[in-house]
């Protein structure tokens, strides 16, 4: 069951953000975020790090900690132009 799909497009910059949510197997909520980006990737010991000025680099770590605490998981990946975050949560 697809719950929502939202896309935003800004013409000033070629920025794409898409958020999709879906319930699978009657007890798992899947959230998929797709963002366009400049292709610059920073990785540290724990995975991806923020490239924003003043970023704390704890966003993905926080999402991962909360999802795992409640029996879920997080997967982050990227292509040359898009960054993906897939979150699975038990409901």
**Token representation of residue 29:** 């909520």
Report the number of distinct structural domains present in the chain. Answer: 1
Please count the CA atoms within 13 angstroms of the CA of 76 that sit on its side-chain side. 15
- pLDDT score at 51: 66
**pLDDT in the model for residue 6:** 54
| pLDDT computed for residue 61 by the predictor | 84
Q: What is the mean pLDDT of each run of 10 residues along the chain (91 residues)?
A: 53 72 91 86 73 66 89 92 91 87
Q: Which two tokens stand for residue 1?
A: 């069951």
Structural domain including 32 reads: 2-90
């Amino acid at each position: 069951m697809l719950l929502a799909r939202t896309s935003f497009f800004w013409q000033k910059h070629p920025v794409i953000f898409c958020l999709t949510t879906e319930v699978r197997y009657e007890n798992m909520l899947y959230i998929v975020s797709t963002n366009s980006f400049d292709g610059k990737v920073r990785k540290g010991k724990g995975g991806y790090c923020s490239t924003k000025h003043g970023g704390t680099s704890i966003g993905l770590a926080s999402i991962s900690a909360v999802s795992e605490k409640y029996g879920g998981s997080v997967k982050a990946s990227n292509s040359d132009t898009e960054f993906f975050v897939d979150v699975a949560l038990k409901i």
